[in-house]
Chains A and B, each alone.
Chain A
Amino acid sequence: NAGVTQTPKFQVLKTGQSMTLQCAQDMNHEYMSWYRQDPGMGLRLIHYSVGAGITDQGEVPNGYNVSRSTTEDFPLRLLSAAPSQTSVYFCASSYSRQAAGNTIYFGEGSWLTVV
């Protein structure tokens, strides 16, 4: 009963390095998304995908890339890490469009620090 699985849980990066946060779900959900959580700002949408092969930008997409080659996986890539990307990242999934009031399932989060 894995649900939404994110790796790694903790990561420290140097400015300019690149890395990929992995996200996988085993619920056959069409919709997946990435959020970042910053103090005093709640969660903000970075990128989302409504199905394999389809991705779109959210509220704060700059500095991040995503791809959706399979239904299960939705990796988030930081191309050249900056201290402003220090945050907690959450992957989420739902059966179909979030706007229909569907239950959205979140991963446990990835704590990223860029020094």
Chain B
Amino acid sequence: GDSVTQMEGPVTLSEEAFLTINCTYTATGYPSLFWYVQYPGEGLQLLLKATKADDKGSNKGFEATYRKETTSFHLEKGSVQVSDSAVYFCALSTGANNLFFGTGTRLTVIP
């Protein structure tokens, strides 16, 4: 079945460090891929998305490229800030009215 495997955390980085959070997926057909972010005490917010192979989603300095050959959608940011501390979720949707989420990766950025 459809599923998302996400890098386990927690991840702790110093401010201005480079961030990568790995995400790979298994899906039939051609899924759309998403990264959601959850700040403490809040709901999930869409961070970025890609709807077809080789698309790059980007937002707030974060990027992820839809790689069909490696079934991956890794999240990257060149220089993290304290305000990026949150839980990040990779997710996919196919044609079945359903979003499949990864387990989430908690990121803590220290000054």
Query: Given contacts A31-B97, A43-B101, is CB(A101)–CB(B43) below 8 Å?
Result: no
Complex Cα spacing A109 to B42, Å:
7
CB–CB B89/A43 < 8 A: yes
The answer to whether B43 touches A109, judged by C-beta atoms less than 8 angstroms apart, is yes
For the complex, count residues of A whose C-beta is within 8 A of B: 29
B101 in contact with A42 (CB, 8 Å): yes
Chain A residues contacting B82 (CB-CB under 8 Å) are none
The answer on a CB contact under 8 Å between B103 and A41 is: yes
Which of B41, B44, B98 contacts A98, CB < 8 Å? B98
- Residues of A close to B45: CB separation below 8 A: 106
Cα of A56 to Cα of B104 in the assembled complex, Å: 26
Is the interface on chain B under 10, 10 to 19, 20 to 34, or 35 or more residues? 20 to 34
Closest residue of chain A to B33, judged by CB? A101
Q: Which residues of B contact A35 (CB under 8 A)?
A: 99, 101
Q: Assess the A50–B99 pair: CB atoms within 8 A.
A: no
Chain B: CB-nearest residue to A98: B93
**Given A43-B89, A106-B43; A98-B99 close (CB under 8 Å):** yes
Tell me the residues in window 94-109 of chain B with beta carbons closer than 8 Å to chain A beta carbons.
94-99, 101-104
Q: How far is the CB of A59 from chain B (nearest CB, A)?
A: 8
Q: In the complex, what distance in Å separates the CA atom of A33 from the CA atom of B50?
A: 21
Query: Which residues of chain B come closer than 8 Å to A27, judged between CB atoms?
Result: none
CB neighbours (8 Å) of A92 from chain B are: 44
* A-B contacts, 21 listed (Cβ < 8 Å): A31-B97, A42-B103, A42-B104, A43-B91, A45-B99, A48-B97, A90-B43, A97-B97, A98-B99, A99-B95, A99-B97, A100-B32, A101-B93, A103-B49, A104-B46, A105-B46, A106-B36, A106-B45, A108-B42, A109-B42, A109-B43
A43-B44, A56-B97 known, 17 other contacts, Cβ within 8 Å: A43-B91, A43-B101, A44-B101, A48-B98, A50-B97, A90-B44, A92-B44, A98-B93, A98-B99, A99-B32, A99-B96, A105-B46, A106-B36, A106-B43, A106-B44, A107-B43, A108-B41
